[in-house]
Amino acid sequence: MTDDTRLGGRIRRRRVPTFYERALSASDQALFDDALEVEGMDAEVVLLRMHILRLLDEQPQDSEAVRAGIRLLVTALSARHRLTGREAETLTETATELFEQFVSAFASGGTSDE
């Protein structure tokens, strides 16, 4: 994104910060920039991933909020990659199962029953 500025008859273009660059804190911006380097990741998908990670870190007991975040992430990925309804459903189920295994392992001190 650029902004045109006229200086002495010449147009000088300067880069205008994106919405996310203006909205995120410096530490979140660094994490966001790193995550954007993953090939094929949209800014919105990266932001959803960041929020899910933050929820897991700050409120691990709020499983409903994390599940809702996972559903939003799957919806975004489904739209991005044009997944069929069944593919999106399978992805949601798999992600939810992984999340539940993670929570279970976290709650038992890092050990798993499987």
- Tell me the pLDDT tens digit for each residue of 29-50: 888 888 777 766 778 888 888 8
Contact 16, 2 (CB under 8 A): yes
Owning domain of residue 50 = 26-107
Is residue 1 domain-resident?
no
Q: What is the per-residue pLDDT for 49? A: 84
What confidence tens digit (pLDDT) does each residue in 62-81 have?
888 888 888 888 888 887 77
Q: What is the mean pLDDT of residues 10-36?
A: 78
Is residue 70 domain-resident?
yes
What confidence tens digit (pLDDT) does each residue in 92-107 have?
888 878 777 777 776 6
Q: Is the pLDDT of residue 55 over 60?
A: yes
Contact 96, 63 (CB under 8 A): no
Find, among 6, 28, 1, the residue nearest to 16 by Cα. Answer: 1
What pTM value is reported for the model?
0.57
Is residue 78 domain-resident?
yes
Number of domains in the chain: 1
User: Which H or E run contains 10?
Assistant: strand 10-15
Is residue 14 domain-resident?
no
